[in-house]
Amino acid sequence: MSATTVGAPDVQTVRRLRPADAPEPGPLAQVRSRLRDVAVMTRRNLVHIAREPMQLSDVTVQPVLFTVLFVYVFGSGMSVPGGYTNFAIAGLLTMNLVTSSMGTGVGLATDLASGMIERFRTLPMWRASVLVGRTVSDLLSAAVCAAIVGVTGLAVGWHAGHGIWSVLGGFGVALLFSYALTWPTACLGLFAKAPESAMSIGFVVIFPLAFISNALVPTRHMPSWLRVIADWNPVSSVTSEVRILFGNPNPLPPNPSWPDVHPLVAALIWSFGLIAVCAPLAAYLFRKRTTD
């Protein structure tokens, strides 16, 4: 999702936050209060999208363009057992979610540069709700992106070989990885000095992560050194598991590596590992950037 619109916290946001003179809540009440703060921050991000719908261009227009272009351009010159369209949709789903994850970092960098975070500091709210609310709203945007890829895929001839629950499981694996990626991109946005820096650095990182993988082409014909990188790329593990759950072709290279043989385990390790490492790091960077 793209950068957030600059402006003061809206009246409804302020009203939903706990009053400054409220008594110290107990543990359960504190959890409810924090969940309420996260819901308020998530709603704030969604309201900005509603006011400027073009912020969703990377999860609405881009998936359609990528799906149509890659299916017809690559598909016209590539032969994959089971058809290139069925092979490519899982990769296009993962690739679109990976490239759109930079919106988290850019949005946080924009809020910091505009002074929005400083205004939030004056409110009686859980400070980390800014981070969690941002990642949750971007997860909802990623769900829209996934749905558009699926619908566009059906329009260009994709079909799943397994039942609805297996297909939903494939979308779930991809969305889990998408949510995990919002945390390292959040760290990047908090580390960058300006939104433009976050965008440019993120492109350098995200572009090879998305394309040096099995998302669009099988890795069997890659040079041996490049195939090792692609096989251990988390995007390849997620894409392979999504293909398996979709019941689509997933050709393995000769002498497959461990992630090729156990894509679900590899995908879950990468997803939960990124959250476990980068969420605390993002909280630390956020405190560092917002502490006088």
171 in Cβ contact with 139 (< 8 Å): no
Q: What does the pLDDT read at residue 105?
A: 83
Between CA 50 and CA 264 the distance in angstroms is 36
Structural domain includes residue 2: no
Asked whether the CA dihedral 180, 184, 190, 194 is positive or negative, the reply is negative
> pLDDT tens across 262-290, in order?
999 999 999 999 999 999 999 898 888 77
> Pick the residue with more confidence: 38 or 292?
38
For the entire predicted model, the pTM comes to 0.84
Highest mean pLDDT among 68-82, 189-203, 236-250: 236-250
Q: In this model, does residue 206 exceed pLDDT 70? A: yes
Q: Per the domain annotation, does 7 fall within a domain?
A: no
Q: Per-residue pLDDT tens for 223-255?
A: 989 999 999 999 999 999 999 999 998 988 888
DSSP at 7: -
> The domain containing residue 205 runs over which residues?
27-290
Domain membership of residue 15 (yes or no) is no
Cα–Cα separations (whole angstroms), residue 76 to 85, 181, 214: 10, 32, 18
Domain annotation covers residue 60: yes
262, part of any domain: yes
Per the structure, how many domains does the chain have? 1
Mean pLDDT value across residues 4-29:
54
- Is 199 inside a domain boundary? yes
Q: Is residue 124 part of a domain?
A: yes
Statement: residue 128 has pLDDT above 50? yes
Residue 276 lies in a domain: yes
